[in-house]
Amino acid sequence: MTKQAGNQNNQLKRGLKARHLSMISLGGTIGTGLFLASGGAIHTAGPGGALAAYAAIGIMVYFLMTGLAEMAAFMPVAGSFRVYANKFVDPAFGFALGWNYWYNWAITIAAELSAAVLIMKFWFPDSPSSLWSAICLIIMFLLNYLSVKGFGEAEFWFSLIKVITVIIFIIVGSLMIFGIMGGKAIGFGNFTIGDAPFHGGFLTILGIFMAAGFSFQGTELLGIAAGESENPRKTIPKAIRQVFWRIILFYILAILVIALIIPYTNSSLLSSDVAVSPFTLVFQKAGLAFSASVMNAIILTAVLSAGNSGMYASTRMLWDMAREGKAPRFLGNLDKRGVPVNALIVTALVGTLAFLTTFFGDGAVYIWLLNASGMSGFIAWVGIAICHYRFRKAYVAQGRDLNELPYRSKWFPFGPLFALVICIVIILGQNYTAFTGSSIDWSGALVSYIGLPLFLIFWLGHKFIYKTKMVPLKECDFENEL
């Protein structure tokens, strides 16, 4: 298919600035994974194990995102790695990646609605759940419906709140560690208790790899947003350079502060309740009143941010597939403001229906959907690594000059291969404990791995029906968007 740049009625508006891109990618990673799950990681693997796991995943994400940035700066399209998979790998692989990613974020909307209800119940325990889920869904929908600039501004401010919170947390924690605030100096004593800093061995750290991977999911939103960014050849490289160091800085320092102040043996670190979030525990230890309520409000903005981003990403992916004929054609329409309203409505409805499954069968259906979604994010990362490897190989095979790329990722081919291996290890190790007992837990294994066969059915089914083949390197298309 040829580029449709001349058809203004079928093009997204480039309304996202560099500051929007930076915050979209950064904000996508700072959320409940850091505010809540980081405590469980420290408790399970010890302070050293948690830091090692998050640092390793952070490095992997760096290679993934610089590879994605290399492709997105050269070819900024809303379909992002789905389009790159079509052009540089195999159209069937691109088809499966597109539907996988749409499903991933559509179900995430339902997960965020569930989380929002739990958060609001903290303040209003007797209020109806449907009220809060409806209000949050309307907010997410309207932020996406108004314009891409409206989405970008909302995400900028949501993310800024989270970033400021982490900065304040690191400053307060550091003052406590050195005895300037909250009593006597804490020092590094918590790194020497029990079998700290590492607890539980390699398999335990492997389990934290998965938790850390979930925390970092969302950084790939930068590739989706590239299709609506102003001057992507300049803004994307700038955003990537800023985001990596911020992510590593925030995550590593925040986890270090928690680990130094709260012993990893403290069972409160395992709680998913905001009232005992590791951030809340540290603020309370510092003598800051109302810390639970403040953190609850901040986590609510994180939930709204994740839902807002999820609705944006899944809508753009669905719209892009529709205009290529990989989804119903009516989903490929844009309104006069350049918003894919039909795709937005369908995505919101799917998220709502998935949320409603929480009320049936004790939420068993919802847990299945959520587990399938959890696998989907890592599958998308595998897709990005493969696409970047093939992109660079094809670029060189066709005699093109690497110096002409708007942004060039470092450490090729080690970067994408390292990311690919780590992602595959995480995917295969999703629930390795199901196979380590006296008998195999088939039910647990099926729930954990259901996303993988679903992806393979889409990929191999499309390949069988349409007889697609791997695109030869010298035939990869670098000119047309679709």
- Determine the Cα–Cα distance for residues 278 and 257; give it in Å rounded to an integer: 10
* For the ranges 150-164, 298-312, 376-390, the one whose mean pLDDT is highest: 376-390
Q: What is the mean pLDDT of residues 141-167?
A: 86
Q: What is the pLDDT of residue 305?
A: 86
- Determine the Cα–Cα distance for residues 209 and 379; give it in Å rounded to an integer: 15
pLDDT over 90 at 90, yes or no: yes
pLDDT over 60 at 354, yes or no: yes
Summarised one tens digit per residue, pLDDT across range 325-344 is 899 999 998 888 888 999 99
Q: What is the mean pLDDT of residues 56-72?
A: 90
Per-residue pLDDT band for 94 (boundaries 50, 70, 90) equals very high
Beta bridge partners, 16, equal: 229
Burial label for 129, CB within 10 Å (0-12, 13-18, 19+), is middle
- Determine the Cα–Cα distance for residues 211 and 189; give it in Å rounded to an integer: 26
Q: What is the pLDDT of residue 89?
A: 95
Which range is least confidently modeled, 38-47, 130-139, 188-197, 352-361? 352-361
pLDDT over 70 at 8, yes or no: no
pLDDT over 60 at 362, yes or no: no
Radius of gyration of the chain (CA): 22
CA dihedral (399, 402, 408, 412) in degrees, to 10, reads 60
Q: What is the pLDDT of residue 291?
A: 78
What is the residue-wise DSSP string for 273-338?
-GGG-HHHHHHHHTT-TTHHHHHHHHHHHHHHHHHHHHHHHHHHHHHHHHHTTSS-GGGG---TTS
Per-residue pLDDT band for 1 (boundaries 50, 70, 90) equals very low
Question: Which of residues 191 and 51 earns the better pLDDT score?
Answer: 51
Summarised one tens digit per residue, pLDDT across range 201-216 is 777 887 788 778 877 8
Question: Which of residues 111 and 255 earns the better pLDDT score?
Answer: 255
Q: What is the pLDDT of residue 152?
A: 83
Average confidence score pLDDT of the chain: 83
Percent of the chain scoring above 70 in pLDDT: 91
For the chain, give the number of residues.
482
Amino acid at 200: G
Q: What is the pLDDT of residue 3?
A: 38
CA distances from 352 to 151, 216, 277, 318, 359 (A): 20, 25, 28, 17, 12
Cis ω before 76 (30° cut-off from 0): no
Domains of the chain by start residue, with CATH: 16-475 (1.20.1740.10)
Per-residue pLDDT band for 439 (boundaries 50, 70, 90) equals confident
* Axis-axis angle for helices 291-323, 91-123 (nearest 10): 150
Q: What is the mean pLDDT of residues 445-453?
A: 83
Question: Which of residues 275 and 307 earns the better pLDDT score?
Answer: 307
- Determine the Cα–Cα distance for residues 351 and 334; give it in Å rounded to an integer: 21
Which range is least confidently modeled, 168-172, 256-260, 434-438? 434-438
Q: What is the mean pLDDT of residues 349-363?
A: 73
Which range is least confidently modeled, 127-141, 398-412, 449-463? 127-141
Summarised one tens digit per residue, pLDDT across range 100-141 is 999 888 888 888 888 788 788 878 888 887 888 889 899 999
